């Protein structure tokens, strides 16, 4: 599917809010206002965004170097930033293939040229809620070898689908596409909904998200866990992102807000 939507600078775009959070330049006042509201809830929010990016980098590097994955589908790629998935993967294995998927008009306008910087990288304008549109896309079909393991990255994407049953069904469809030995790396915004400090903060951030172009529903730990059904977790399982570190967890102070985004990597048997 291809469409040319105009870039709306009057409504915050989740891709541009995230770009601002990471120190990028492809954002407008409306986007900055959303993230500044989040910073008002917790000044550690820029670190939370950076931890997310670090997680993607660590995961891509680990999958490439330690598992030998050499083809990736990065759903909801976002605006190009430092160390995009193909740069990280191809640094370890120059032969690695990467398919980027996004449907935000700003990402489409700025992303394609920067993300497709060699013939082993493809950017497609597709709706990630439709795995057929991703895997059967004419630029993907034949580009990826569907007989060999794939690394599917769903970094802060699936939480844009509100309904848990819909999320579960979607992830099942993705996993059905993946060959055995493939890996799913997924992060999701988390609210324990237990009256805790994290609950209060996450509810405030959720409210700020609500003003953007993408609905975003925070979920409990157990709900997010179900998105990995049928897969085998890599240690340490589903955890706050700064704890996902193949060489052992990071030590030091952990602000409460770090628990607001959790993720895991799991293998399809």
Binding residues for ligand SAM (CB under 6 A): 14-15, 18, 52-53, 56, 76-78, 101-104, 107, 127-129, 155-157, 160, 214
Nearer to ligand SAM, 16 or 147 (CB): 16
Nearer to ligand SAM, 148 or 206 (CB): 206
Nearer to ligand SAM, 50 or 148 (CB): 50
Smallest gap from residue 120 Cβ to ligand SAM (A): 19
Angle (CA) 142 144 146, round 5°: 95
Smallest gap from residue 231 Cβ to ligand SAM (A): 19
Q: What is the 3-state secondary structure (H, E, C) of 1-61?
A: CCCCCCCCCCCCCHHHHHHHHCCCCCCCHHHHHHHHHHHHHCCCHHHHHHHHHHHHHHHHH
Nearer to ligand SAM, 114 or 197 (CB): 114
Smallest gap from residue 108 Cβ to ligand SAM (A): 9
Q: What is the 3-state secondary structure (H, E, C) of 170-231?
A: HHHHHHHHCCCCCEEEEEEEECCCCCCHHHHHHHHHHHHHCCCCCCCCCECHHHHHHHHCCC
Under a CB-based contact definition with an 8 Å cutoff, are residues 174 and 184 in contact?
yes
Nearer to ligand SAM, 42 or 102 (CB): 102
Smallest gap from residue 83 Cβ to ligand SAM (A): 10
Smallest gap from residue 75 Cβ to ligand SAM (A): 7
Nearer to ligand SAM, 197 or 217 (CB): 217
- In 3D space, the residue among 22, 23, 19 whose CA is nearest the CA of residue 31 turns out to be 19
3-state secondary structure at position 100: strand
Residue with tokens 């870039």, as numbered in its chain: 7
Residue nearest to ligand SAM (CB): 76
Smallest gap from residue 77 Cβ to ligand SAM (A): 6
Angle (CA) 79 106 263, round 5°: 40
């Amino acid at each position: 599917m291809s469409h040319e939507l105009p870039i709306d600078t009057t409504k915050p775009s989740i891709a541009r809010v995230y770009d601002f959070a990471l120190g990028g330049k492809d954002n407008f006042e409306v986007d900055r206002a959303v993230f500044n509201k989040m910073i008002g809830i917790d000044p550690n929010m820029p670190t939370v965004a950076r931890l997310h990016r670090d997680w993607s980098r660590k995961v891509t590097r680990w999958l490439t170097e330690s598992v030998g994955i050499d083809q990736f589908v990065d759903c909801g790629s976002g605006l190009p930033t430092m160390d995009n998935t193909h740069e990280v993967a191809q640094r370890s294995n120059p032969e690695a293939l990467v398919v980027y998927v996004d449907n935000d008009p700003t990402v489409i306008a700025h992303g394609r040229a920067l993300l497709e910087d060699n013939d082993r990288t493809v950017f497609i304008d597709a709706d990630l809620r439709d795995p057929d549109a991703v895997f059967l896309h004419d630029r993907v079909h034949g580009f990826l070898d569907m007989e060999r393991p794939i690394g599917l990255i769903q970094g802060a994407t699936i939480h844009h689908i509100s309904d848990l049953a819909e999320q579960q069904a979607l992830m099942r469809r993705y996993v059905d596409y993946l060959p055995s030995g493939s890996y799913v790396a997924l992060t999701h915004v988390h609210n324990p909904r237990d009256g805790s400090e994290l609950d209060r903060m996450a509810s405030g951030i959720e409210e700020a998200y609500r003003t953007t172009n993408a609905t975003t529903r925070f979920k409990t730990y157990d709900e997010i866990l179900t998105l990995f059904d049928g897969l085998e977790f890599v240690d340490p399982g589903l955890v706050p992102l700064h704890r996902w570190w193949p060489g052992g967890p990071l030590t030091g102070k952990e602000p409460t807000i770090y628990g607001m985004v959790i993720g895991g990597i799991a293998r399809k048997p």
